[in-house]
Structure 1
Amino acid sequence: MTTVLEIENLKETLNRGDIKFPLESYVWSGYNFDNNIKMHWHSDVELVRFIKGDFSYTIKMQEYKIKDRAIAFIPANVLHSFILPSYSSESAVVFNPKMLPFSEYDESERALSKALIKGYTSLYNPITPDDPDFEYLDEAIDYIVTNSKDNSICSRLRIKSKLIEIFAILQSKGYFSEEEAIADTSSMQREDRVKHLLKYISENYPKNITVNETAEKLGFTTEYFCRFFKKNFGESFIEYLNDYRMDRAAQALLLTNLPVARIGENCGYQNSGYFFRVFKKKFGCTPNQFRTLKSSKN
């Protein structure tokens, strides 16, 4: 099981697990600051187990609020984001759906493969404890997270069987459709614009980018861009950009040995004193303290 501060990027291209078993698990538990996992998407399927805390997540531009326990299913290639509050607990399983079918699979596996890989999804709402299948699903995901690093054939077969059972239950609840849903053109255009915007931010956040420059690059007027951003992200462009830079800095502190000042520069902060102040305001400690405390915990 991997316990990490997982700060997602937008279009993820991470290799989950290994080529023989492309599955990874993540755990968020006990940190004394919020983790705002920005809007992103990936070609993998994700199962999220909310354990303790008041959570908020968005999928296909629809927000869901969770109090304590719940399970969320995130299909492949769908925009989503999470807000994980301080001192909360959450775990997730992320995997390549192509791992599920056997080499000679039957009609039921073919239907499941089509639903997961091509994204034939009908429902996105979370599953809560009042659902009769909740406890089984909760225990199954917990088993997968706990045993995801066991490389034995026996363990991997059990994990695979758990995943198939989970999706059989989701199928019975109407989460998947046999054919691709009729596209909502306006919704698709909105998602495409958001994806394009996220891509631009991820490629340019180390630079001194401005609202006017970003709006112009994306073909928007500044006024329309500000309204569009606020409506879709719930905050201003500058607020989002600063938070995004902080997340990138936190990730670099945990995953690299670069000097703190260099990390600040790489994240768009040329003034190290200002970088320290902004970082401490968000995380409640200096970058050096963050690196020491979180690295020792992990």
Structure 2
Amino acid sequence: MEKGQNSNLYIPYQIPIQMSDYELSVKYLERLDETCVEFTHTHLNYEIYYILEGRMRMHIGGQEHLLLPNHFILIPPGVSHGAVYNPDEKKVYVVFVFGIHKNSEAASRRAPEHEFVRLFESALSEKLYVIAEDANSCSGILSAIEREATEKPLGWQLLLVDYCREYFIKVLRNILTAGSGDEGQPDAGQSNLAVKITKFMQEHYQENLSLEDVSKAFHITPRHITRIFSDYFGTSFRKTLSIYRLNYAKNYLRYTDKPVEEIAELVGMSAPQTLYRLFKENEGMTISEYRKYHRQKDD
């Protein structure tokens, strides 16, 4: 992908990719940057973060890692992770969420993908995650995916399938060549709905947003949303909304002189006491200490 290029790469729908005895199912694909607020979460699927530009810090498995351009991290299902939000640290990255499962219990050992899938599962069998450098020009494949998905020329759906398969194989070659699973298949509709709900929350976090409001917007029950967040992200709707509001409040605290009362209102909190409490719980310092630290740092 070209540096500095505005991107419309966002594929929230499922792309099924048939192989002989397996199916690779791309659940979600999107290009993001430093303005994206992530919360720590888990998935029922595999996930690849590929760094295109800048530096990216990741919390994963209780540790923090720094990822550089042309590096990626492969995260298996069930591992808690999240990108560290820092709008001053420029970065561009692509998230690729996928599942892989047998088409039948009678999968043939002679199928061309059998050995590849076996090695893939073996590489992750004793690891929480894998970080590696890309030696197979996968950024070029992502550019091709973006071009087909945005321009939609004749036959683009067919090429999109081929490019996603190629990206999957060539990213994993980096791991398998260097020596350096879960076959459960989650509900694709649930996965896509979870992504849509979080985007809705980011668009409306500054409002008096409730679980009931979101349920009405998506025509599903509050209980259904609660189950989606628990199954797909390993957290709750309320905690997710609080993290969004907290991170956006940090921007106001750092770059403006607005009082805490006004900032709390701007990010949708009912009282400044809520912001004080969340800040102390999540940042390990008071709001005044945070402002003092960053003003000294910026001077």
* TM-score bracket for this pair, using the shorter chain length: 0.3 to 0.5
After TM superposition, the score normalised by the length of structure 1 is: 0.47
